[in-house]
Every structure is written in structure tokens, then in C-alpha cells.
Chain A
Amino acid sequence: MTTAPTGEYADQEFETIDLNINMGPQHPSTHGVFRMVLTVDGELVKDVEPHIGYMHRGNEKLPENCDFRQIIGYVDRTDYLAQFNCEHAYVQAVEKLMNIQAPERAEWIRLILAELNRLTSHYMFMGAFGTDIGVFATPFTYAFREREVIQDLFEEISGDRLMYSYFRVGGLGWDVPENFKERVRQVVQHTWQGIKDIDGLLSKNEVFLARTRGIGMITQEQAINWGCTGPVLRATGLPIDIRKEEPYSFYDQVEFDVPVGEYGDVYDRYYVRLEEMRQSVRIIEQALEKMPDKGPILPERLPRLLRAPAGEVYGRVEAPRGEYGIYIYSKGGPKPWRFKVRAPCFSNLSALREMTIGHYVADAVIILGSIDIVLCAVDR
């Protein structure tokens, strides 16, 4: 849309004002309380200035006054769509610090629940992204139907639909119900159809392709430079996944592939997430076979008060949005001295400017949707 004046007007400079559009904290598609100020020239975005901090709740200061067992509730509420993954990062960090080994059955259950949570999180993405693109809420209802099925299972296990607080340092809070394996198999069967539904609705839709191909491209070097992880990085073509790089829990005993994209654009991020859902189902099915039917879920001798030795640890997992890490610096005692959450959405969102400049206003919304941010993780 750059039109240089020609002919007799070639020497004049037309003075046009760049418009500042404020996609303010209240907006249907900023995925939370997020503000972006776009400087546009007509419809072309010249600059993006994101303003975050509206959801800052002091989630890193509050745990400094909490026992290690109590922090599990705070960790849930950072990334509220992938709670089991966040809890997993936290308990992994504390267990490494205190040199506690969770029993085998607990680890397998943690793995299965984390992968189921990856499914719910990606379903949420499909729903919200479809609405951003403009489909009139159809992928939203499809995705949420599937999500409800999985959340029903989570409610049976942990008693809660959204903030589970189920993992404990050393294992799990309580054992899963007796029919856990059958229920998970039921859920997984249902999910295959749901993935196919959404795939059929969006993946080959010409308008969807026209809207998302070539938009928000980012190269591999840029992505690593900005610290992007997760589907944003894998869409550029790098098969980087913490479950393969630094395997934790029992991920080295299950077989799965890491889907990668090609161009690093919005369509690839969507497709990578769709494929990841299929791989999650594969992991869950294998884990169900390998999981022991009986066994303890907490170690034999867990001290009544968890005192960590002096030291620091950085526990990281592959959350649905990228690398979620918990850094704990302890000076001995039952409370951490510094508790830091490395949220994937924080780094992914900082690359927004890079991805959006040069596109149109309508694309800015789609690019923001494709990064899949959760403001509570960005702002903590």
C-alpha cells in the first residue's frame, strides 16, 4: 500500500497523519486485559506498543511468605489454561531442590494429566482463534464441547473445574478414582472426533488460509533471539521441545513426534497446535498402558514440614504455550527467598512488535491471537 506520488505531484510530500488506534484494555479480542497502541497509516501498521501490567497481582512476591506446600495454589493461577503443566514445573523444581523422588505411579498420573491439560489448552486456542478470525463462534462451541468433556474428568479427579491444586511436592494430593483408566480412554476417544471436527472446519478453509498464510512471519533466528518458545518457535521449523531436549517425568519412555511448521506464520502456529493435540493423545494412550495400576502416590517418608536446603533450582516443563519455568532461590527454611515464574507468554508477547509491523490492522488482532497469550502468565 505504499503509493509514491508520480507525475506533477512527485515533488510534493503529502502530509498525512498517522493515526493512533488504541486497542484498549477492554476489547473483545485482546485475550484478557491487554492494551496495544497501533500507529497506523491508513490500514498499514507502522508501530505497535504493547502495554501490559493490568493483571499484575504480585504473584512472585506472595509465595515468599508461603510454605512450599501452599505455593501450589499460586502456581495454578499463573497460566490458568494449563494448570497441570504449571503445577508440574513447580513440584519438579521443589523435588529437585529437596531431592525427593515422586513414586512411579504418581509420575505417570502427572504425565497423563499434563497431556490432557495440553489438550484443553489447545482447544481453548482453537475456539478463541476461530472467533478472532471471524467465524461466528462455531469453532468456539465445538472446542468448548470437547473441553467440557475433559474438564468433567478433571472435576472427578481433583474436585475442581479450573484451579486444580492437585499435585503435591512428592506426588499427588490423593489417589485418582478407581476407573481412571477407563475414563481417560473414554475421553480420549471422544477427543479424536473433536480434533477432526475442528480440523475439518478450519484447516482447509480458503478464507482461513487467505487470512493466515504469510501473516506474522518470524524467522528462526528472530524467534530464538526474542526468546520465543513453544508452538511459536516450532512453527518456524525448529523441532525444539523441552520434553525431548531435557526430558522430565517419563517423557523419555513414550514415543511421540514434535510437529514443526515451515514459514513461521500464523497458519503454521495453528497447524502445529492441531498436530500437538494428536501427539498428546498418542502419549496418553501409551502412558495408560505403562502406568502401574497400584502403587503409592506419595513417598514413604515425607517430612511434615518441608524445609529446603540452601540453593537454587530452575524447573522447566513444556507448557502448551512454551517453556514454563519456576526458579526458586532458597536460603534454607520452609519458605522460598525468591520465587520467579518464567512464563512463555511473556517472551512470546515481546516479539509481537516484530511480527506485526508491516501488516494491516485486521492482521494485528489475528497475530495476537496466534501467539496465544494468557495475561495472568504475562503479568503474574
Chain B
Amino acid sequence: MTPEEREAAIARARAAREAREAGQPSAPAAERPARPERPAREAAAPRGPQPPPEGSIFDTFKRVLPDVEWVEAVQGVRDVILTIKREDVPRVMRAAKEHPDLALDFLRSLHGVDQQPEGFDVVYLLYSYRHHHGVEIKTRVPLDDPHVASVTPIWRGADWHERETRDMFGIIFDGHPNLKPLLLPEDLIDVHPLRKDYPLAEIEIVQGEGASQEEGGEEIE
């Protein structure tokens, strides 16, 4: 396109955007109306975590492993989230992969979430290509004894994920063949950057006039 056409296009886009912005009421923060136009779906949904619906993968899990204590079972935004005790991890994972009704043969991701001071969460995201269902399994690992069984014998892909989680959080996976540092240098064994007590500096300069993030400063368009 020629430069003139390009200029004209940019001018038109800008005008459209300004028209759109001008149409919005520029109410200050205190007078903003209280959420009038939310879609009906969310208005009807109650707040708080919901148990998984009937017929979801949770029922299959309960049927396959009837004696496992499910610490929590929640319907998350997309997947069912199950929380188990860390002693149950080898049993549950092996059943998840090998039982034909579950067939969760694809380990999407294995990572940790810092939940200090209660410890760390280890999150396993699983998916089955055969049955087209997926699940998220979590387990809580205490801070003073961060050990959990390794699932590398079950899914080979967990190898590097577990090494990375050990690097970042310090969670030791028992039974892992080669728990050396993966992303961090080989000599930084006792530094765990993704823990919350490892410092991360605040961003000091914000768009707008230097208001901090918590006060809902400038609109970032």
C-alpha cells in the first residue's frame, strides 16, 4: 500500500478508536456502576469452588480407586482439580496411566506452586488421548520435608519436569534417576528461585503518574 493509503488507514483506525472511547462514560472510580452487563452465565453461577459435576472424570477415579482419600475435588475453570495426599501419589498415578478407563497417558506438565507456610503444591496435569478427558491432580508437600515420589517410572517425560521443579522449589523427588540441576547452574543446588521468599523487586515505574499497582492506578490501555 502507498504511504498515503497507510496514513489514511491509520487515521481511520485512530478515529474509530476515539469514537469508541468518547462513547464510554468517563466516570471516576467512585461512581462506577456496579457491574450491570455481565453475561447471564456468571450471574447465575454461585461463588466459591464447586464439586465436579456428575459423570465427570472424578466419578471414574472414585470407581477405579475406591479407597483413596480425596482431600479435595473441585471443578476448576476448565479441568477437574483433585487433591490427594502425597503418600497416595504413586498408587494414584499408576492407576491413572494404566487403568483402561482412565488411560491418562500424557503428562502435560508437572510443576510446583508455592503455598508457604503450608508447604508446596505439586501439580500434575494429565490428559488422555484415547478418552479425550483430562484432569489436574495436586498434592501438598510440607515445607520441612519436601519429598514426594517421582513419577518418572510411569511417564518418562516427567524426568525433566521434576528436575526443573527441584531447581525452582527444592522439592525432592524420590526415585528420580538423575536429579541434577537442569535450568540453574550445576553448583546452585540450594538456591530455589520460584519460592516466594526469594526476592523479586517491585516494578517501580508504572504507566501513568507513578501510582502503585494496588490502588488501581492508571488505566493501561
CA distance A56 to B181 in the complex (A): 12
In the complex, the answer to whether B105 meets A224 with C-beta atoms within 8 Å is yes
Assuming the A-B contacts A175-B13, A327-B125, are A301 and B37 also in contact, with contact meaning beta carbons closer than 8 angstroms in the complex?
yes
In the complex, the answer to whether B13 meets A174 with C-beta atoms within 8 Å is yes
Q: Is B78 an interface residue (CB 8 A)?
A: yes
Within 8 A of B (CB), among A347-373: 347, 349-351, 354
> 0/1 per residue, A86-110, Cβ < 8 Å to B?
0000000000110101000000000
Which residues of A sit under 8 angstroms from B4, Cβ to Cβ?
none
Assuming the A-B contacts A101-B39, A224-B129, A227-B108, are A313 and B156 also in contact, with contact meaning beta carbons closer than 8 angstroms in the complex?
no
Q: Is B54 an interface residue (CB 8 A)?
A: no
Q: Considering only CB atoms, which chain A residue lies closest to B215 in the complex?
A: A305
In the complex, the answer to whether A225 meets B220 with C-beta atoms within 8 Å is no
What is the CB-to-nearest-CB distance from B95 to chain A, in angstroms, rounded to a whole number?
17
Which residues of B sit under 8 angstroms from A228, Cβ to Cβ?
157
In the complex, the answer to whether A52 meets B77 with C-beta atoms within 8 Å is no
In the complex, the answer to whether B78 meets A350 with C-beta atoms within 8 Å is no
In the complex, the answer to whether A178 meets B12 with C-beta atoms within 8 Å is yes
Which residues of A sit under 8 angstroms from B158, Cβ to Cβ?
227
What is the CB-to-nearest-CB distance from B36 to chain A, in angstroms, rounded to a whole number?
8
Query: Total A-B residue pairs with C-beta atoms closer than 8 Å?
Result: 142
The tally of residues in A whose CB lies under 8 Å from a CB in B reads 62
CA distance A314 to B125 in the complex (A): 9
Which residues of B sit under 8 angstroms from A351, Cβ to Cβ?
156-157
Q: Is A200 an interface residue (CB 8 A)?
A: no
User: Which of B9, B109, B125, B202 is close to A178, meaning CB atoms less than 8 Å apart?
Assistant: B9
In the complex, the answer to whether A314 meets B183 with C-beta atoms within 8 Å is no
Q: Is B71 an interface residue (CB 8 A)?
A: no
Query: Which of A61-69, A77-85, A264-272 lies at the interface?
Result: A61-69
CA distance A301 to B33 in the complex (A): 11
What is the CB-to-nearest-CB distance from B21 to chain A, in angstroms, rounded to a whole number?
10
Interface size class of B (residues with CB under 8 A): 35 or more
Q: Considering only CB atoms, which chain B residue lies closest to A69 in the complex?
A: B220
Q: Is B193 an interface residue (CB 8 A)?
A: yes
Q: Is B62 an interface residue (CB 8 A)?
A: no
In the complex, the answer to whether A225 meets B109 with C-beta atoms within 8 Å is no
Q: Is B5 an interface residue (CB 8 A)?
A: yes
Assuming the A-B contacts A58-B193, A312-B81, are A65 and B202 also in contact, with contact meaning beta carbons closer than 8 angstroms in the complex?
yes
In the complex, the answer to whether A245 meets B105 with C-beta atoms within 8 Å is no
User: Which of A67, A69, A226, A329 is close to B157, meaning CB atoms less than 8 Å apart?
Assistant: A226
In the complex, the answer to whether B182 meets A52 with C-beta atoms within 8 Å is yes
Contacts A304-B29, A350-B159 aside, 20 further interface pairs with beta carbons under 8 A come to A52-B182, A56-B183, A56-B184, A64-B200, A96-B77, A97-B77, A99-B42, A183-B1, A222-B156, A225-B105, A245-B132, A301-B35, A305-B216, A312-B76, A312-B81, A325-B108, A327-B123, A342-B108, A342-B109, A347-B161
4 interchain residue pairs of minimum CB distance: A227-B157, A53-B183, A177-B9, A350-B160
10 pairs of residues in contact across A and B, judged by CB atoms under 8 Å: A224-B129, A225-B105, A227-B106, A245-B132, A301-B35, A304-B29, A314-B108, A342-B125, A350-B157, A379-B183
